[in-house]
Amino acid sequence: MPPIDINNLPKVLQPYQANIQKTIKPVIDIKLSQADNLPIWASKVGGYPYLPLIHDYPHDSNGLPLQLLAQINLSDVPTNDLLPRTGMLLFFIGGDDLYGMDFDDQQTQDGFRVLYFDTVITDESQLWQDFSQIDAKMRAQDYYSPIDHEKPSLAMSFDATTREMSYNDFEFEQNVLEGKDFWRDVTHDDEDLAEDILEHENIFDGSGHHLLGYPVFTQEDPRSADNALKDFILLFQLDTDNIGDYSIMWGDSGVGNFFIHHDDLKNKDFSKVLYNWDCC
């Protein structure tokens, strides 16, 4: 998605041009493509994880294995000021009907796990290669997933760009519209105008797969209800999508996102990440 043309805004948004400009920040867009025989250390969605032999496979507190949602080899990612320059970042989720999310505690890493390894080993003899016991445990139960584990992984490629604050962000109306309501005060309940801005113009759009930037939700921003989360930023988002015959589907056309406090990201501490997904 191209960056916003700040000098060519719809007329109703022109009074907020300076505010919109202030919210523009870097984002790493992710493009997914079907691929065969990716190396175990590749950036990808699904498949088997990069995991050193000295590290146990992640399970939840009931002893059930978590599934690899995605892994990102950070040396593949364009240079930026927030993410580590190197290492492997992995996102695991559970196989229950909530994909491991706990509505009452979205940060305790039981039904999900975020792992970071600061170096990437490329000697396969030092990495997990036999996942047959993990597969057997998964097949022995009803295992839910937003991704298709029966198909090869999806390869990731990355593009550095910028994006303005998304319409769903909990700070949108305060930071962009100076406390005004988008529907009532900006579009004056004109549904066609609102649709033109949000869908056709792709303004304030946080959809898609990306690192950093701003999120999208089908419901509401989980940070809006807790002041302790106000300094959490988007770390990674994986959206519903179809890539060839490969489907990513969060419930009913939803989206999954992971948030982190900016200080924790700076310190490469991924132990308190917030995991959220919602759907229509």
Supply the pLDDT for residue 238: 99
pLDDT in tens, 66-122: 999 999 999 999 999 999 999 999 999 999 999 999 999 999 999 999 999 999 999
**For the chain, which residues make up each domain, given as ranges?**
11-278
Contact predicate 90/75, CB 8 Å: no
- pLDDT (mean) for 154-164: 97
Supply the pLDDT for residue 149: 78
pLDDT in tens, 25-34: 999 999 999 9
Whole-prediction pTM: 0.96
Q: Residue type for 129, please?
A: Q
CATH superfamily of this structure's domain 11-278 = YwqG-like (2.30.320.10)
Which residue shows structure tokens 């250390």? 41
